[in-house]
Chains A and B, each alone.
Chain A
Amino acid sequence: MSTVIQHPSAQHPSAAKTETTPVAMIEGYNFAYLDEQTKRMIRRAILKAVAVPGYQVPFGSREMPLPYGWGTGGIQVTAAVIGPDDTLKVIDQGADDTTNAVNIRRFFAKTAGVATTEKTADASIIQTRHRIPEKPLTEEQILVYQVPIPEPLRQLEARETETRKMHALEEYGVMHVSLYEDIATFGRITRSYNYPVKVADRYVMAPSPIPKFDNPKMNRMPALQLFGAGREKRIYAVPPYTKVESLDFEDHPFTIESWEENCALCGATDSYLDEVVIDDKGGKMFVCSDSDYCQERREAGHVGDGGPPHTESDGR
């Protein structure tokens, strides 16, 4: 007997059907909240970041009306990039309906009045925390990452004065030693997220705390990837079609997570899965972390072992 569960995003009563709530724009603030001078400063930093792929450009990060650590870097990048013709999607942990994603989408709906969407394919700008959507992104899209600690070497060397020198000299021995120590101790690299990458054969870069499952998607991605770290005051970028390699060793090649299970709702075998605890006796199920991907598959008729078939009343 299989337990019937719904995707976490479908558990809230109001999520059972399509609902549109008006969000009024707030008065007294500039388009997308930031003043024009600040936007120019951020835009210049973004252009430099694109010109020097993987290098962290310092910028005069502003105090935003949301807390540091909650996406202020991504928000500032999005605010500097977004225009009235854009359609914005915001995800946290792969899902559009996590409270922080909702809150940031609400912020831009209030301050920029732009169209928002939950469909990956319909978005021109996707702001994300901790995931890259499963659906391949296109040249027409910009992916904006929220970054807590932009410095990939920070856990190994706390001082900015030192890490800056390491990047300048392309001296990444400390990182290789750290990864190799892992292999020597555990027989494998134990980093499972925020797994360091090398961009265009030059800079070692933090991909932000995405699971290493997502790292291969960064390589030669057709979309522009922008990274904003508000508290740490850094912006960096990966231009489209740019080589992004996960650091590894010849005898210990990079691997990604895999599951024996499929998504219980849509049956996907190729997506990143969230573990959902269903009772207090160790029962668990696995469902897609990317809620849009899962929904789209279910709409196309795919059904997992634990999910009910898609019906018309299943809203997004």
Chain B
Amino acid sequence: MYVAVKGGEQAIENSQKLLAEERRGDTGVPELSLDQIREQMALAVDRVMTEGSLYDPELAALAIKQACGDLQEAIFLLRAYRTTLPRFGVSEPIDTGHMAIRRRISATYKDLPGGQVLGPSFDYTHRLLDFALAAGDTRPVADIAEQAVDSGMPRVTDILNHEGLVEVEEPESDDTPVFDLTRESPRYPADRPARLQNLARGDEGFLLALGYSTQRGFGNNHPFAGEIRLGEVAVEFAPEELGFPIEIGEITVTECQMINQFKGSASQPPQFTRGYGLTFGHCERKAMSMALVDRALRAEEFGEPVEAPAQDEEFVMAHSDNVEASGFVQHLKLPHYVDFQAELVTVRALRKQAFAAAEVNPVSDAAE
């Protein structure tokens, strides 16, 4: 098929060739492999998978490579690919209570069944640049614990549940259709599943800032990090023709349950309430921010005043997505000269009018 093209087409092609060259950089330096990105930039891969809404470390690594390390661009690439995939159905809910734990910490209990498991974390590193890493060829090996992590690792919220101290969360019936934010336009007011989907895809930086704002008094909700856990969970799917679920694989997730004091209302006793965060891979900052914002967005449910940005569902949901935000902010570099011309005509007319008025009445503002 042939089409007539000219001008801009060549410019676009040339620009893309330049980009490809710059992406590769100095060819004297070995080219990055996807394995290297997946293994050594794992947290970048995890963020791209989480906000890209697609669990595929290989493709996320490719997206990061293609985007020259621009993670928002990589998220966009993964999202655009995800759109083209067929949708077979909805998995069974993953059970984080049966997670193969790699990390599990609670800020609410010094000790608890299963114990605190620090796992891999920046938390207690001294942020000193490690020049040994600069030299390369490191092969660090961690010690193996003498005893295995407890297989029974109850969630802190389940422990609180025994005393009735935390709100109970009942799963919806299996017949309830699962809303899919990527296939339907959101409606306001939205419900919590729609909000959580939005937050899970939301920009980490945006949610971090919003979560932080709640801590500084813009929608204070007294949070405790009830528990953060990282590990592998099984994903199960029930094909129509089988009628029962089968395990189709395993994914790494980070879960954060914030618990928040609640003084009670006319209809609810004093108890702790929850904010929930979940991400693919290891995205702890995101999971915690998400949990803070989730709780803040439940203000109305608990009869709290909705005053702060983080409590404002439409504000949060409409602006959390960095693919949407980035596109619209950056569209400002597209040509707008027709609109600008229209504005020129208007501003010139307004000036003419203002100067004419100034001549009639020289003490008016326009004459100053």
Q: How many residues of B contact A (CB 8 A)?
A: 52
Question: Is A298 at the interface (CB under 8 A from chain B)?
Answer: no
Given contacts A21-B9, A22-B2, A274-B337, contact A257 B342 (CB under 8 A): yes
Cβ of B18 within 8 Å of any chain A Cβ, yes or no, is no
Q: Are A64 and B83 in contact (CB under 8 A)?
A: yes
- Check if A109 sits within 8 Å of B3, measured CB to CB: yes
Cβ-defined contact, A60 with B183, below 8 A: yes
In the complex, chain B residues 312-368 whose Cβ is within 8 Å of any chain A Cβ: 314, 318, 323-324, 326-331, 334-339, 341-346, 349-350, 353
A188 within 8 A of B: yes
Bound CA span A262–B346, Å: 18
Closest B residue, CB atoms, query A116? B3
Question: In the complex, A65 Cα to B269 Cα: how many Å?
Answer: 50
Counting CB contacts under 8 A, is A139 at the interface? no
Contact with B along A8-23 (1 / 0, CB 8 A): 0100101100111111
A272 proximal to B (CB < 8 A): yes
Contacts of B318 in A (CB 8 A): 160
In this assembly, does B135 line the interface, its C-beta being within 8 Å of a C-beta of chain A?
no
Q: State how many angstroms separate the Cβ of B84 from the closest Cβ of chain A.
A: 7
- CB contacts (< 8 Å) of A70 on chain B: these are 327, 331, 334
Number of A residues near B (Cβ < 8 Å) is: 77
On chain A, the residues within 8 Å of B249 by CB distance are none
Taking a contact as CB atoms under 8 Å apart, the answer to whether A14 and B6 are in contact is yes
CB-defined contacts of A29 to chain B, threshold 8 Å? 84
- Give the chain B neighbours of A22 by CB distance below 8 A: 1-3
Contacts of B189 in A (CB 8 A): 161
Please, which residues of chain B bring their CB within 8 A of the CB of A69? 327-331, 334
Are B12 and A67 interface neighbours, CB within 8 A?
no
Q: Identify which of B4, B314, B335, B349 contacts A92 (C-beta below 8 A).
A: B335
**Contact B10 A68, beta carbon cutoff 8 Å:** no
Nearest CB in chain B: distance from A216 CB, A: 14
Q: How far is the CB of B242 from chain A (nearest CB, A)?
A: 23
Give every chain B residue within 8 A of A12 (Cβ-Cβ).
Answer: 6-8, 10-11
Assess whether A186 is in contact with B328, with CB atoms less than 8 Å apart. no
Interface residues, chain B, with chain A CB atoms under 8 Å away: 1-12, 76, 79-80, 82-84, 86, 182-189, 314, 318, 323-324, 326-331, 334-339, 341-346, 349-350, 353
Q: Can you add 15 more A-B contacts, CB < 8 Å, to A109-B1, A188-B350?
A: A14-B10, A21-B2, A61-B185, A63-B76, A63-B323, A65-B80, A100-B335, A102-B8, A103-B8, A106-B12, A109-B5, A161-B314, A211-B339, A234-B185, A274-B337
**Between-chain CB contacts (< 8 Å), 26 pairs:** A9-B7, A12-B7, A15-B6, A22-B1, A23-B3, A58-B187, A60-B182, A62-B83, A63-B82, A68-B328, A69-B327, A99-B8, A102-B5, A102-B8, A103-B8, A106-B9, A115-B3, A117-B4, A118-B4, A130-B338, A130-B339, A192-B339, A193-B339, A209-B339, A211-B339, A211-B342
